[in-house]
Structure 1
């Protein structure tokens, strides 16, 4: 798995760059859309959950900006996951020529999608840090723990994407199912509410969601200035690497039939 990604690293970066630039080519605002879209969604969610439903994070003297930043931190994590997973079932289907006519390392298609999504994730993080600096001053030093949290999360996304990209070739209904599933994940993850808001009986179920730990830890290091739970993080690293490897093996085993199906 690692050998393939390293061997094709230049191709992955070049393809991801072309994909990012191609998405906004010809549009008036260009790359600014990658900032404008999450800010619009943040404004809507902040109004609906902060003003209409009166959701709170339990912070003393909580302001609207604090609520918005904690909400935005959760959305950054979810959007990274959703962008890759929603595209996964169509990754191979959208590149039929690579399957039939070109000698191409198909296993890097999920990596290209992930790098493209990480670009937008980094832009959103930049906007988050800029807003924090403007309203609250310098962010806590725990922000440097962020790569330790996002890297295993990226491997988990890769494992899911490899599995779904393969399944999408054989089962076309997967794309429809994933669209519904990601919408469910949005509300079953602690994005709009803290995990502590749930009763104890449901809180344990919430942590079965693979997004929960990442969202809670990202919020802790970005906003609250707390160090991550290194024991949980170590377990998460091991599990996500195993999951990524299983997804990679599944993709490599099933890719032999892609040309026949397509």
Structure 2
């Protein structure tokens, strides 16, 4: 399966990039601010959360605006990827019913689209780190590695949801509720490990994958703290396992998707 997967990545990589660029152009076609909206959305959310939790509730977290903004960027990539995966086969019905492409390439195309948006927003994050005088340390490479594992985890979850989303219409509603719950339990605007009473805070931070990824990335990027490598390795193995299960399932059942959509 791995050989077939890598061969399909090479064969359809142009399709993925072309589809991502086309979707990017379509998103901003009738917008006055174009790609600026990709920066304004997390930036405005950051300002709201900074005011609410920093001023109203009195959070004393160091570099708090950067703390929130960095968490929002990672969360937005994950939530957009997962949410899209449920409906991506139905949304691309014209492609699916007319030509053959491995169905996970539709997901990869969307991840590339979200990755381009993320790259632009990360430039703003770098500027904010300079403004708030966040010290740069070699731990920035650990933060990049955490991002890589998060990408793999998002792809693994999304391939599984892609399959079931074809057959279960109500799955989108259930996942929307779950995503909303995860948002408040993932420490986007606070540190779960220290906010929740011990030892439950640390347990929740390790068992919730996005809480762990966000806290590990921010700890390395903003404070030069090495994440728990054992837990990081566990989530890396789980992420790869999810990818194997998801891609294998798609290969096995993708021919039946045409009959459903």
Flag whether TM exceeds 0.5 (same fold): yes
Structure 2 equivalent of residue 36 of structure 1: 40
The gaps in structure 1 that reach 5 residues or longer are: none
- Which is worse superposed, 69-78 or 198-207? 198-207
Structure 2 equivalent of residue 210 of structure 1: 209
Q: 1:91, 1:165 within 8 Å by CA — same for their partners in 2?
A: yes
Structure 1 residue 170 corresponds to structure 2 residue 174: no
- Which is worse superposed, 48-57 or 114-123? 48-57
- CA shift, 1:82, in A, is 0.6
Q: 1:155, 1:240 within 8 Å by CA — same for their partners in 2?
A: yes
- CA shift, 1:56, in A, is 3.5
- CA shift, 1:138, in A, is 5.4
Counterpart CA distance in 2 for 1:161 and 1:49 is: 31
The gaps in structure 2 that reach 5 residues or longer are: none
- CA shift, 1:137, in A, is 6.0
Structure 2 equivalent of residue 156 of structure 1: 153
Counterpart CA distance in 2 for 1:8 and 1:137 is: 41
Structure 2 equivalent of residue 225 of structure 1: 224
Structure 1 residue 192 corresponds to structure 2 residue 189: yes
**Residue correspondences, number:** 255
| Distance verdict in 2 for CA 1:163–1:137, change over 3 Å | closer
Using the size of structure 1 for normalisation, the TM-score is 0.91
Structure 2 equivalent of residue 128 of structure 1: 125
Counterpart CA distance in 2 for 1:2 and 1:209 is: 30
Q: SS of 1:30's equivalent?
A: coil
Structure 1 equivalent of residue 75 of structure 2: 78
Using the size of structure 2 for normalisation, the TM-score is 0.91
Counterpart CA distance in 2 for 1:5 and 1:210 is: 26
1:213-252 CA-partner distances (Å, limit 9, x unpaired): 2111110121002234333333322221111111111222
